[in-house]
Amino acid sequence: MKQKILEDIDKEKEMLISLGDFIFDNPELGLEEFKSSKKLIDILKSNGFKIEVGVGGFETAFKAIYENGVGGPSIGLLCEYDALEGMGHACAHHLQGPSILGAALSLKNNLKDENYKIVVYGTPAEETIGGKVQMLEKGCFNDIDVALMMHGAPDTTTDVKSLALSNFTVKFHGVRSHAALAPEKGRSALDGLLILFQGIEFLREHVREEVRMHYTITNAGGPANVVPKYAEAKFSLRSYDRAYLNHVIERFKKVVQGASLMTETDYEIIETKSLNNKIPVLKLNEILMDNARLTNAPRISPPREKTGSTDFGNVMYHVPGSCIRVAFVPQGTSSHSDEFLVAGKTEEAHDAILLGAKILAGSAYDIITNKEYFDEIKREFEENKNKSNKI
């Protein structure tokens, strides 16, 4: 049966590749992916999936459900389809929808004697606002037991972890005065920022090694001969552990407060983005990689230990999940690059669509048909999440 499921994906090769090329040729920014999401929805609907559009409060988000029997595992298959501003699909999001559809349709059409549910989630705006965060807050992903994704990459591999991220805008409000004639009457908002930056540099020495803190000035307040009344900066704080990052954030806020007191200015702290770290489930990674080997995927490599931040981390903080990265560009190639873009419609990219579909379908089959796998995945997730919640 598993072999039949994998072989059935090849029968849809022309449709899946055409779909990927269409999304590539019609790049749409986050929350504007109307053409891409409609294409995916239309195919799922015509194949008997129950469709919900606009889930999570986004017009271009959707959920497609197929259930066989009752009481079996609910497999979530998540796909992104937003492009990069000014670049197009230089992160290979155009490969995800076709791969997810290939896996979902093959399972639905062939696996008739098991109890299971497939839930395909279309998730917009990963590159900008991290759409999965709001979708999660609005109740999405509560109906799945496992979350699976695919992503084009230089190597075929999985991730062990990702960086939790919190972005902040900090604003200082001071008192304007003539910098030469009456400096004593002024209270410099820019001084507040500069002291804050210095405080962060001292804080670096007293946090865990993996913590990242970076910043930039977005408004310096005006000309040199005026004590600036207003200044603004953006900050990104990261750690592989959300609980520890929350601890760092509290210290960061105290540094802001201290800079405000030292300069006699007022301040605002506005959180603009919050992404959780992935909770690793090595058993799930193992299942994905076993199926990658089964399908002879190219450049199979050890799991990535160091990665950036992603809104999929918030989903993987909520349910067990993993993403199979499928090689289609030369090793060492960076995403968000011209090289990724140029490779978007190559034979390797088309192969990645089919391989990703087979790896996901084979992995879903293993989880559905092997209760020991399913139980081990849930147990490891709970254990690792409990560890992550302790500083």
Position 391 scores a pLDDT of 65
Q: What is the pLDDT of residues 303-318, one digit of tens each?
A: 998 788 999 999 999 9
Per-residue pLDDT at 99 exceeds 70: yes
pTM, two decimal places = 0.92
Instruction: State both tokens at 191.
Output: 């001084």
Q: What is the pLDDT of residues 164-178, one digit of tens each?
A: 999 999 999 999 999
Sheet holding 74-79, edge to edge: 50-53, 62-68, 116-122, 74-79, 146-153, 321-327
Position 305 scores a pLDDT of 82
Question: What average pLDDT does the chain have?
Answer: 97
- Residue 159 gets which letter from DSSP? B
% of the chain with per-residue pLDDT over 90:
97
Q: What is the pLDDT of residues 141-171, one digit of tens each?
A: 999 999 999 999 999 999 998 999 999 999 9
Long-range CB pairs of 56-59, under 8 A, 24+ apart, other chains included: 56/131, 56/134, 56/135, 56/136, 56/138, 56/139, 56/140, 57/134, 57/135, 57/138, 58/31, 58/124, 58/125, 58/131, 58/134, 58/135, 59/31, 59/34
Residue 37: φ, ψ to 5°: -65, -40
Instruction: State both tokens at 79.
Output: 């796909």
Q: How far apart are CA 151 and CA 374, in angstroms?
A: 23
Instruction: State both tokens at 236.
Output: 């990104």
